[in-house]
Amino acid sequence: MKNIKLLVGTERGISMVEMLIALFMTALVLSALFGVYINQHKNWMIQEDVTEIQQNARAAIDELTRQIRMAGNGLPLGLPGIEASNTNPDTITINYSSSGCQSPIEHAMPLPSSELRCDGHDISCFHDSQYVYIFSPDSGGGEFFEITEVQVAAYHIQHNTTSLSRLYPQGSIVLQMEQLKYYIDRSDTAHPNLMLKLPGQAAQVYAENVEDLQFQYTMKNGATVNLPAIVDDIRAVEITLVARSSRTDASFANQYRRRTFNSVVNLRNFTSE
What are the pLDDT digits (tens) for 143-176? 999 999 999 999 999 998 788 999 999 999 999 9
> At which of 122, 145, 176 does a domain end?
176
Contact in structure between 89 and 212 (CB atoms under 8 Å): yes
| One domain for residues 191 and 154 | no
- Mean pLDDT (whole number) for 130-146: 89
> At which of 146, 176, 206 does a domain end?
176
Which amino acid belongs to residue 8? V
Structural domains counted in the chain: 2
| One domain for residues 189 and 236 | yes
| DSSP alpha helix (H) spans, the chain | 2-10, 16-70
- Quote the pLDDT of residue 272: 56
What pTM value is reported for the model?
0.81
| One domain for residues 269 and 197 | yes
| One domain for residues 89 and 102 | no
- Terminal CA-to-CA distance of the chain, rounded, Å? 118
Contact in structure between 242 and 226 (CB atoms under 8 Å): no
User: Mean pLDDT across the chain, nearest whole number?
Assistant: 88
Cβ-based burial of 240 (10 A; exposed 0-12, middle 13-18, buried ≥19):
middle
- Domain that residue 145 falls in: 98-176
Query: How would you list the strands of the sheet with 258-266, edge to edge?
Result: 224-225, 210-219, 234-244, 258-266
Which amino acid belongs to residue 147? I
Contact in structure between 109 and 116 (CB atoms under 8 Å): yes
Alpha-carbon gap, residue 24 to 22, rounded angstroms: 5
Contact in structure between 239 and 65 (CB atoms under 8 Å): yes
Domain for residue 81, yes or no? Answer: yes
Give the tens place of pLDDT for each residue, 67-92.
999 999 999 877 899 999 999 999 99
Contact in structure between 213 and 184 (CB atoms under 8 Å): yes
Compute, in degrees rounded to 10, the torsion defined by CA atoms 23, 28, 33, 36.
160
| One domain for residues 141 and 106 | yes
- Quote the pLDDT of residue 110: 94
Give the tens place of pLDDT for each residue, 209-255.
999 999 999 999 999 999 999 999 999 999 999 999 888 877 777 88
Q: Which residues contact 225 (CB under 8 A, 6 or more apart)?
A: 216, 217, 219
Per-residue confidence band for 108, with pLDDT thresholds at 50, 70 and 90: very high
